[in-house]
Amino acid sequence: MRRITASLLILFTFTTFIFHAEATDAPTPKLIAVKHHGDWCSSCKKMGSIFTDLRNKFDGQPVLFVTLDLTNISTRNQSELLASTLGLQSVYKNNPGTGFILLIDPKTYQVVKKLSADQDIKSMSNDIKTLLQ
């Protein structure tokens, strides 16, 4: 019984060490891009492919792309939970509506730039590049 307990303790300690090591090696974002989306929103429809293109353009760079879907009650509830999990609940509550992308500093959780459907992808991309410097 003692051998089993000791073995389990060693296994638990080793597993915890590996998990912690993997977690600390994970890259951390320098910027969070949050799209406030609704299927019924014309600005969101216009920005749909742009957001995907931006995510692809900045793939491998320290930008976390998140969509908060406010289309219906179910997606809104899930988006509220996601925002809370990411530490963005105050940003979520203070920026109601859809049809925009918020660029957020992950250290302070402050909005540093708001992108709109009036901008083209080049302008949005330049804003992101500037904030990554």
pLDDT of residue 61: 94
What are the φ and ψ backbone dihedral angles of 27, each rounded to 5 degrees?
-65, 150
pLDDT given at position 46:
85
Collect the ranges in the chain with pLDDT lower than 70. Answer: 1-25
| Domains contained in the chain, CATH given | 31-132 (3.40.30.10)
What does the pLDDT read at residue 2? 52
Cα–Cα nearest to 48, from 98, 85, 91: 98
Write the pLDDT tens digit of every residue in 39-73: 999 998 888 789 999 999 999 999 999 999 999 99
pLDDT at 39: 93
Residue 47, SS3 per DSSP: helix
